[in-house]
Chains A and B, each alone.
Chain A
Amino acid sequence: MEQLLQQFASGLANGAIYACVALALVMIYVSTDHINFAQGEMAMFSTYISWQLMSWGMSFWVAFILTVMISFAMGVLIERLILRPLHNAPVLSIIVVFIGLLAIFNSMAGAFWSYLIKEFPSPFPKSDFGIAGVIGAHQLGVVLVTLIVLGLLFVFFRYTPLGLAMRAAAQNPQMARLVGVRVDWMLALGWGLAASVGAVAGIMVAHIVYLEPNMMGGILLYAFASALVGGISNPAGAVAGGFIVGILENMVAYAGNQIEKATGVYIIGNGEKLTVALIIVIFVLTVKPAGLFGRVVVRRV
């Protein structure tokens, strides 16, 4: 029972990370109809920046906030300088650019900071934090931080004029222009926000997976799975999808372990977690192509 709870808690923590990266993917998807394959590498690069800032003597949280801001600027710059000129380019060109960005960030990180695996600190106190035996301090901290970030984003998009303008620009860019919204800037802001959210995920997960240029590879796949499960055009769905995928993969692995213990037959285990995630994706897309929470858009003509 205790092991089950532990698995659940660790699924929750993983899910929080997936939720963040999935949300970053969805934020760009809803306004451009493209999946940013470089999202994970951008997050990894941000994580290195925070590592660098810390190694220059900054405290964790100062480095954290500074990195989120730097990442925001980085996202805005990428949109303005690299994607803006490709505004009317065919889909394939944009995909190639995304893959190019992925490779560039990956090799830049390797060049600047080497491919050696680095340890990354956790800001959360070891003792007196978390629930003994069930959820570790870092896991609990990760969940809390992500929930705060997600809450802030929700408030921003739901209750501020700028958030409303960004949603309007994503939904109907031409009409948004006709009410005076500077749609181009909204896109750039979206990129900035996505990069910031990705940075949060990277910094939070680095303590668990360790810092290295390929640390986000698997996580991006999970995040993609989460976004699809939740409905690729639904931000709240992507967040829910993140937690579902995170918890489900651990539960399935746990069930596999129990079966192996009881019968000695190995069916499924920790090694197959990613496979589980992908099976979930295929299953959801077959049964509900719009994702679990994705609404099929209803429009009256």
Chain B
Amino acid sequence: MAALLEVSGLKAFYGQTQSLYDVGFEIPMGGITTLLGANGAGKTTTLRAICNMVRTDGTIRFDGKNIRGMATEEIVRQRIAHVPEGRGTFTTLTVDENLRIAAYTRKDKQGVKDELERVFVYFPRLKERIQQQAGTLSGGEQQMLAIARALMLKPRLMLLDEPSFGLAPLIVLEIFRILRRINEEEKVSILLVEQNAALALDLATHAYVLETGKVVMSGPSDVVKNDENVRKSYLGY
């Protein structure tokens, strides 16, 4: 299968501090890939680097085209949706406005309408809260809103940064079920960064393990899952 996103020799810097050294990975078209690693390994930075939110070096090819160095707004227009750490809710806007703002770049009004309907199929709870101020939603609802908003971009690739963060286990399971459906039904490829390695390896087909800004291991999820080091360090048994 052709790769949708190819990253190679990726370096990233916060001011003088280098936090990624030579990161490389591929995301197959239509697949779910996960990045695992301890705190500070560079998972979030990798996602931010893809969207040019940090200073980077290396190559990032999306659908064969080098997107490294493009402005964040333009990368998003290539239909890469980033669901950031902390969900990025527009707290003072309503749920409806939070969703509509993501359709800002789209010109097809009917398409946007259909999209809204489809999003509510995945997240019926958001429909009930449509006129509520987004800052008053619960953590789980805000995470759903963040994913729903990403869907409104009609993305080809979705970058998810710790969707399970701070949520009750049942809500996390619900969100992961929805992510699988989105991947299958909407044909959205997913790059998932997750602390909960067991959950991430269940969802993903491929996994990369990051340590202090380098890829130290990669392979199909079930191979990575059974690796002894991964089991000990990230799965806890």
Which residues of A pack against B, CB within 8 Å? 161, 164-165, 167-168, 171-172, 174-183, 297-301
Contact = CB atoms under 8 A, between A and B. Distances in A.
Contacts of B89: 172, 175
A172 B90 contact: yes
A172 B101 CA distance: 12
B220 interface: no
Tell which of A161, A175, A180, A297 has the most Cβ of chain B within 10 Å: A180
B214 interface: no
Interface string B72-94: 11001100011010001111110
B66 interface: no
A172 B102 CA distance: 13
Interface stretch (B37-45, B136-144, B192-200): B136-144
A161 B100 contact: yes
Contact of B104 (A172, A175, A180): A180
A171 B138 CA distance: 19
Contact of A171 (B91, B100, B136, B166): B91
Contact of A300 (B71, B81, B102, B135): B135
Given A179-B101, A299-B91, A174 B53 contact: yes
Contacts of A183: 73
B16 to A, nearest CB: 15
A301 B105 CA distance: 29
Given A171-B90, A178-B88, A300 B73 contact: no
A180 B105 contact: yes
Contacts, number: 80
A114 to B, nearest CB: 46
Contact of A181 (B97, B104, B136): B104
Nearest to A233: B92
B47 to A, nearest CB: 11
A175 B104 CA distance: 13
Does more than half of chain B's interface fall in helix, strand or loop, or is it mixed?
Answer: loop
Contacts of A179: 76, 101-102, 104-105, 149, 153
A180 B90 contact: no
B160 interface: no
Contacts of B53: 174, 177
Given A174-B53, A176-B101, A182 B91 contact: no
9 contacts: A164-B104, A167-B90, A178-B88, A179-B101, A179-B104, A181-B73, A297-B91, A298-B136, A301-B166
B73 A164 contact: no
For the complex of A and B, 6 pairs with smallest distance between CB atoms: A175-B88, A180-B105, A180-B76, A177-B72, A179-B102, A168-B101
B92 A181 contact: no
B204 interface: no
B51 interface: yes
Contact of A165 (B76, B88, B92, B104): B104
Given A168-B93, A174-B88, A175-B88, A180 B139 contact: no
Contacts of B101: 164-165, 168, 176, 179, 181
B139 A171 contact: no
Given A172-B88, A178-B82, A299-B91, A161 B104 contact: yes
Contacts of A161: 100, 104
B86 to A, nearest CB: 9
A175 B137 CA distance: 18
Contacts of A167: 90, 92-93, 97
Given A172-B90, A300-B142, 15 more contacts: A161-B104, A165-B104, A167-B97, A174-B53, A175-B90, A177-B71, A178-B82, A180-B73, A180-B105, A180-B153, A181-B73, A297-B91, A298-B136, A299-B135, A300-B135
A300 B138 contact: yes
A167 B76 CA distance: 19
B178 to A, nearest CB: 20
Nearest to B79: A180
A236 to B, nearest CB: 13
A171 B100 CA distance: 15
Contacts of A297: 91-92, 135
Contact of B137 (A172, A178, A181, A300): A300
B73 A298 contact: no
A299 B81 CA distance: 24
B8 to A, nearest CB: 24
A166 to B, nearest CB: 10
B100 A178 contact: no
Nearest to A181: B104
B84 A164 contact: no
A171 B73 contact: no
A167 B91 CA distance: 11
A177 B97 contact: no
A167 B71 CA distance: 20
Nearest to B105: A180
B90 A168 contact: yes
B84 A175 contact: yes
